[in-house]
Amino acid sequence: MSETWHGGAAAVVTLTFDVDAETPILAQGRDYARHASTMSHQAYGPDVGLPRILDLLDELGVPATFFVPGWVAEHRLGLAGSIVERGHEVAHHSYGHRPPTSMTPQEERADFVRALEVFADQGIEIAGHRAALWEASWQTARLVAEYGLLYDSSLMGDDRPYRISAGSGEIVELPAHWSLDDWEQYAYLPAPHIGSVIESPAKVLELWRAELDGMRHYRCLFNLCVHPFLSGRPGRAQALRRFIEYALTCGDVRFARCRDVAEAAAADPEIATRPHREPVVDPGVYPV
Amino acid sequence: MSETWHGGAAAVVTLTFDVDAETPILAQGRDYARHASTMSHQAYGPDVGLPRILDLLDELGVPATFFVPGWVAEHRLGLAGSIVERGHEVAHHSYGHRPPTSMTPQEERADFVRALEVFADQGIEIAGHRAALWEASWQTARLVAEYGLLYDSSLMGDDRPYRISAGSGEIVELPAHWSLDDWEQYAYLPAPHIGSVIESPAKVLELWRAELDGMRHYRCLFNLCVHPFLSGRPGRAQALRRFIEYALTCGDVRFARCRDVAEAAAADPEIATRPHREPVVDPGVYPV
Amino acid sequence: MSETWHGGAAAVVTLTFDVDAETPILAQGRDYARHASTMSHQAYGPDVGLPRILDLLDELGVPATFFVPGWVAEHRLGLAGSIVERGHEVAHHSYGHRPPTSMTPQEERADFVRALEVFADQGIEIAGHRAALWEASWQTARLVAEYGLLYDSSLMGDDRPYRISAGSGEIVELPAHWSLDDWEQYAYLPAPHIGSVIESPAKVLELWRAELDGMRHYRCLFNLCVHPFLSGRPGRAQALRRFIEYALTCGDVRFARCRDVAEAAAADPEIATRPHREPVVDPGVYPV
Amino acid sequence: MSETWHGGAAAVVTLTFDVDAETPILAQGRDYARHASTMSHQAYGPDVGLPRILDLLDELGVPATFFVPGWVAEHRLGLAGSIVERGHEVAHHSYGHRPPTSMTPQEERADFVRALEVFADQGIEIAGHRAALWEASWQTARLVAEYGLLYDSSLMGDDRPYRISAGSGEIVELPAHWSLDDWEQYAYLPAPHIGSVIESPAKVLELWRAELDGMRHYRCLFNLCVHPFLSGRPGRAQALRRFIEYALTCGDVRFARCRDVAEAAAADPEIATRPHREPVVDPGVYPV
C-alpha cells in the first residue's frame, strides 16, 4: 500500500494553517497600517492563535503544515523555526501575500524569490508553495518547478493530488478549495470590507464533517485551510478540535504533512496528470 | 394518466446540470483566463465533477438533462456525446454563456445559432434551451421557436410547465427558480468576486427537501439546477445523492428528462398559457 | 378588554402581503423591463403566488392585509377587488414603488395621490399606507394624515402600535421591521443584483416563531411582511402555513387586518405617542 | 484569588451595550436624517430596546456596561444618568460615532474631548472608552491614557485583558471581537446599505454559547457587544436572556462591569503586555 499517495486510507487530511498575520490586509492597501484595531485583529493570529493551535496539535498528536509569508517570518523572528521544532512543516506562502494575478511576472518572481531567501536565511527547508489568496498565475507553477520545490497547493482542478507539467519539470499539485477554508465562514472586517455574516463553529464543523465523509467515500485529499487569526478564537479552536477528534475516530483517515503526501504522490504512478495551460480565448466570443 | 404533463405523479423532478466549465467566468472578462487557480476551479466541473455525477445517476438509475454551452462542447470534444450515450439529454445553453440581456439582438442571435451548429456538427439532437444566467431577453423565446426547439427553461413565471406564444409559434416553458440552483448556495470566488458565505450540504439538502415537499403538495415541476464544478465536490455530491434517494422513497415523484416533460406538456391541453410580452413602462413613472 | 389595541391577546399578528409584482425592479431602472426572466420572476407574484396565498388564508380562516402599488392595481384590473371580496384589506403601497426618500416632495405627493385615485376608481376603500421599501420621508406621515387615512405602516420606532403627530392630524403607526420581512431571507436576482445566499424555509420558520414567542412575552404587534413572488413558492408557502398553524395553536394570539388593529389602537388611550421629527444635525459633527 | 483579573472564574462575561441610536447612520452621511424610517429604526434603541434590556438585567441580577456616544447622551438628557442609577457603568463611545481612522488626529482629539465634556456636565464618571466601529487609530489609546481613563475596549489582539503602553502611560485593553457583536448577525438597512441576510436568534445563541464554552476552556474574557436597536427586539431579547441564564448555570462564569475587570487586570501582575505600534511598511512591498 505504501506506494499509493493515500497509503490505503479512505481519505488523507492535511491540516494547513496560513499564518498570514498583517499581510493580507496590507496587500489591500498599505494605508491600513494606520488602523490599530485591524492590525491587532491580524496580530492575534501569530501572537495568540498560533500557540493555541500548536498546543492543540500536540494534545491530539497530529502533524500539520504552516504556510508562512516571508514577510511574517522576517518580522517575527523565531516563528517559523518554532513551528519546525514542534515537528510540523513550514511552507512558502509568498513574501507579501499579494496575489500573483495582481502582479507583473517580474514582480511575482521577485516576491517568490525573496520569500525563499528569508527561509534559507533562517535554515528552514521548503518543499512546497501556496499562492496568496489561491490566485496563482500560469507562471506560478513554473516558479515552483524552477526553484526545485516538490509541490504546489494553489489550484482546484481535482480533489486528489495530481501532476502538472510546469516549464522545466513536473510538480505535484495538492489541490485546495474554498469550501475547506475558514476565511469564507468566519472573516469579517469593516475596513477593508471583508465578509458578511459570521458563521457559528457548529455550522463549520458540520460542513467539514460532511466534506470529510464525502471524501472518504471518494478517496480524496481533505486539504483544510485554517487561519490562526480566525480559527484561533476559543469557540472555533474547539470546533477544530472536534473535527480532528471526529476524523481520528473514523479509523480510515490518515493525517499527514503536505510534503509527505506530495512525496507519496510523486512516487504513485496512478495519480492523474492534468493539463495546465491558459485557455485560448477568442475576443470575438468574449469581447472584454 | 399519460396525457397529463405529470403522468399522475405528485411532483416531477428534472435533474438539470449546467456544464458551464470556464464560460461564466470568461463572460465576466476574458482577462480571467490569466487566473490559473480560477480556471482550474472551473475545469474541475467537466473533468472531475461530471464523471462523478454521471456515475451517481447510473447508480441511482435516474435520467437527467445537461445544459452545455457550445463553447464547452467545442473545446472538450466527446463530452456532449458521452452524456447522450449514458442515456441523458444534452440541451442548448448558449454558445459562450453571455446573458442575452447583455447582448444586442444580433449578438444574441449569432451566439444562439453558433451553439446549434456545434451540436449539429457533433450529431447531438437538441430539443430545448436555457439562457445563460437565466437572463433571457424577450427575443430568446422567439429564437427557441424559430429554430424548432420544443422548450425553453429560462423563465420563472410559474412552478409548472406553461405555454408561451413566441413569434412564429408556441413553445413550452419549463420554469426554473433561484432557490433550486446550487450557485447561490455554494459558489465562491475572489476574482471575479462571486458569492458570500458558503453553505453546508446539510442546509442545501434541507432546502431542496422542503421545496420538493411543497411541490408535491401543489403538484409542481421540481426543476433542479446543479453545476458540476460546485456540486461535484464530494460532500455536495453526497447531498445530491441523498436528495435523489429521498425523492425516490416518496413514491409519488417522477424523474424525467426535460424533453420528456416538455413533450408531455405540449400534449396536455390543461397546462396554462401565460402572456410573454415586455411591460410598457411610462418614463413619467420610472424616469431612469 | 375590547378597548385595548390587543383585545387581551398576548400578541396580535397582522399578516401583510406586499403585492409588488414588477414595480420594485422597474423602480431600480426602467430598462429592466427588457429582462424577460426577471419580469417573469416578478409576475409570478400576482399570477401564481397570490391565488395560492388567498387559498391558504381561506383554508386556515385568517384575515390579512394586502399592500398593493397603484401601478399593479391599474395594470392587473380586478386584482385588488378580488382580494377585498375574499374578506381581506387592500392598502396603499405607493403608485410606482419608488421610495419616498428618492423623490422630491412634489414627486412623492404626486405618486401618493395617483395611487389613491386608482383605488378610488376601482371602488376600493383605503385606510392605511406603507411606503415603498419602508423608506418613508418625514412628509410621508403628513400625507397619510392629510388624505384622511387611519394608519401608516412604514416606521420602526416600536414593536407596538403608536401615535404620531403628522401635520394636520394624528395617525396610528403600525410599525414593521426587517426581521419580519421575507425579502432579506429569500430574494435573489442577478440584475438588478439583489440578495446573497437564499435561506431555507426551515430557518425562516424558526426565525418567525422565535420572534412571535418573544412578542407574546412582551405583548407586541407581529407585523409580518410577505411577498407573493417570494413566499408564494411551494416550500415557502408551506412554511407560512406552518407558522400560522403554530400561532393558532398558541391560544393567546389574535389575527387581524391592519385597519382593525389601527382602529382599536386609535381608541386605546394607553398606546404611546412617539415623537416624529427630523433630527437636527450639526454639519460640524457630521460634515458630509 | 482576588488578585487575578478573573477572580478564579473559568471565564468572565462583560455584557456591553453600545447605545448608538442615530449616530452610526449619521456618520455615514448626515443626509440620512431625511430618512424617517431609518431614523425611527435607530430611535427604537434608546426608546424601546434600552428600557427592555435594563429590566432584563434587573430580573437576572447581572451588571453591565453601556458605551454611549456623547451625541446620544446630549440629545437624550437623563439617559446616561438613568443607566448609572440602575447600577451599571456608562463608558465613552466617542462623541459622534465617526471612526477614528476616518478623522484627522485633530478631529479625533476634538471628538474625544467633546464626549468627555458631555459626561462631565452630566456628572457621569468615565473609566473606559470604545472606539466607534472598533476602528481605533494608534492615537486612540494615547488619548485614553492622556485623559486618565483606565481602559480601552477597541482592539482585538488577545481574548484576555492585556496591557499596552500608550504615550504618557499604560492602560488596560479589554479586547473585543466581531464574532461577539450582534451587528454582523442582525443589522439590515437598505440605505445606507447595511447587512445581508438576517440571522435567527437561535443561531446567535448557538454562536455565543459555543464561544463561551471555548472561553471557559481557555479562561478568557467574553466581551459581548450588543446594540439595543438590534437585540432589543423581542425574539432577540429572549435569546440574550437565554444566553445569560446559560452562563449563570455554568457555575464557573463571573459577570462584571468593564471597569471592575479593568481594575482587577491593572492589579494582576500576570496579564500580558502586548506591543502597540504601527507596523513599518515598505512601499516596495506594498506599493499602494
Q: For C61-111, write each residue's pLDDT tens digit.
A: 999 999 999 999 999 999 999 999 999 999 999 999 999 999 999 999 999
Report the candidate in A274, A135, A105, A221 with the shortest Cα–Cα distance to residue B37.
A135
- Spatial separation of the C-alpha atoms in residues C174 and C171, rounded to whole Å: 10
Report the candidate in B216, B245, B236 with the shortest Cα–Cα distance to residue C235.
B216
| pLDDT, mean over chain C | 97
Peptide bond into B228 cis (omega under 30): no
The residue of chain C nearest to residue B133, with distances taken between CA atoms, is: C190
Give contacts of C201 with chain D, Cβ < 8 Å: none
Which residue is listed with cell 511575482?
Answer: A108
- Spatial separation of the C-alpha atoms in residues D245 and D56, rounded to whole Å: 11
The residue of chain C nearest to residue D115, with distances taken between CA atoms, is: C285
Between C134 and D1, the higher pLDDT residue:
C134
Answer yes or no: is pLDDT of C1 > 70: no
% of residues, chain C, pLDDT over 90: 98
* Residue C267 near chain B (CB below 8 Å): no
A 170-209 residues with CB below 8 A of B?
175, 177-179, 184-185, 195-197, 199, 203, 206-207
Tell how far CA A25 is from the center of its chain: 17
Q: Give per-residue pLDDT as tens, C198-227.
A: 999 999 999 999 999 999 999 999 999 999
Number of CB pairs, chain A paired with chain B, less than 8 A apart: 137
Residue C255 confidence (pLDDT): 98
Q: Give per-residue pLDDT as tens, C107-128.
A: 999 999 999 999 999 999 999 9
Report the candidate in B174, B116, B101, B106 with the shortest Cα–Cα distance to residue B147.
B116
The residue of chain C nearest to residue B220, with distances taken between CA atoms, is: C234
Q: Flag if C71 and B175 touch (Cβ within 8 Å).
A: no
Tell me D172's DSSP state.
E
Q: Do residues B32 and B81 touch, judged by C-beta distance below 8 A?
A: no
* Residue B241 near chain A (CB below 8 Å): no
Angle at C223 between CA C219 and CA C226, to 5 degrees: 150
| pLDDT, mean over chain A | 97
Q: Do residues C123 and C233 touch, judged by C-beta distance below 8 A?
A: no
Q: Flag if C179 and D35 touch (Cβ within 8 Å).
A: no
Q: Do residues B155 and B178 touch, judged by C-beta distance below 8 A?
A: no
The residue of chain B nearest to residue C190, with distances taken between CA atoms, is: B133
C 81-120 residues with CB below 8 A of D?
99, 101
Reported residue count of chain B is 288
Q: How far is D85 from chain A (nearest CA, A)?
A: 32
Q: Do residues A153 and A258 touch, judged by C-beta distance below 8 A?
A: yes
Q: Flag if A190 and D218 touch (Cβ within 8 Å).
A: no
Q: How confident is the model at residue B168 (pLDDT cuts 50, 70, 90)?
A: confident
* Strands C65-68 and C11-18, sheet pairing: parallel
Q: How far is C180 from chain D (nearest CA, A)?
A: 10
Q: How far is D118 from chain A (nearest CA, A)?
A: 26
Out of A185, A215, A281, closest to residue B33 by CB: A281
- Spatial separation of the C-alpha atoms in residues D183 and D195, rounded to whole Å: 8
Please report the beta strands in chain B, taking only residues with DSSP state E, as ranges in sequence order.
11-18, 65-68, 89-92, 128-129, 151-152, 162-166, 169-173, 221-226, 253-255
Which residue is listed with cell 509568498?
Answer: A94
Residue B1 confidence (pLDDT): 45
Contacts of D226 (CB under 8 A, 6+ apart): D15, D16, D17, D18, D53, D182, D240
Residue B212 confidence (pLDDT): 98
Report the candidate in A107, A172, A99, A167 with the shortest Cα–Cα distance to residue A136.
A99
- Spatial separation of the C-alpha atoms in residues D273 and B223, rounded to whole Å: 59
Q: From the DSSP assignment, how many helices (H) and strands (E) are in chain B? A: 12, 9
Reported residue count of chain C is 288
Out of A159, A285, A286, closest to residue B234 by CB: A159
What would the grid cell of residue D159 be? Answer: 481574548
Out of D135, D137, D158, closest to residue A44 by CB: D158
Residue C196 confidence (pLDDT): 87
- The per-residue DSSP string of B110-171 comes to HHHHHHHHHHHHTT----EE--GGG---HHHHHHHHHTT-SEE----S-SS-EEEEETTEEE
- Spatial separation of the C-alpha atoms in residues D240 and A175, rounded to whole Å: 42
**For every one of its 288 residues, what pLDDT tens digit does chain D have, with 9 covering 90 and above?**
458 999 999 999 999 999 999 999 999 999 999 999 999 999 999 999 999 999 999 999 999 999 999 999 999 999 999 999 999 999 999 999 999 999 999 999 999 999 999 999 999 999 999 999 999 999 999 999 999 999 999 999 999 999 999 988 999 999 999 999 999 999 999 999 999 899 999 999 999 999 999 999 999 999 999 999 999 999 999 999 999 999 999 999 999 999 999 999 999 999 999 999 999 999 999 999
For chain A, list residues with pLDDT below 70. Answer: 1-2
CA dihedral A264, A266, A271, A272 (to 10 degrees): 150
> Structural domains in chain B?
11-267 (3.20.20.370)
Q: From the DSSP assignment, how many helices (H) and strands (E) are in chain C? A: 12, 9
Q: Do residues C223 and C174 touch, judged by C-beta distance below 8 A?
A: yes
What would the grid cell of residue B132 be? Answer: 445563460
- Spatial separation of the C-alpha atoms in residues A246 and D135, rounded to whole Å: 38
Give contacts of D199 with chain A, Cβ < 8 Å: 197
- ipTM, interface predicted TM-score of the complex: 0.97
Give contacts of A276 with chain B, Cβ < 8 Å: 36, 40
The residue of chain D nearest to residue C279, with distances taken between CA atoms, is: D33
Out of A30, A40, A44, closest to residue D286 by CB: A30
% of residues, chain B, pLDDT over 70: 99
% of residues, chain D, pLDDT over 70: 99
CB B3: neighbour CB atoms within 10 A? 10
Residue C254 confidence (pLDDT): 98
Tell me what the mean pLDDT of segment B29-49 comes to: 98
Show which subunits contact D, needing at least 3 CB pairs below 8 angstroms. A, C
- Spatial separation of the C-alpha atoms in residues A274 and A158, rounded to whole Å: 9
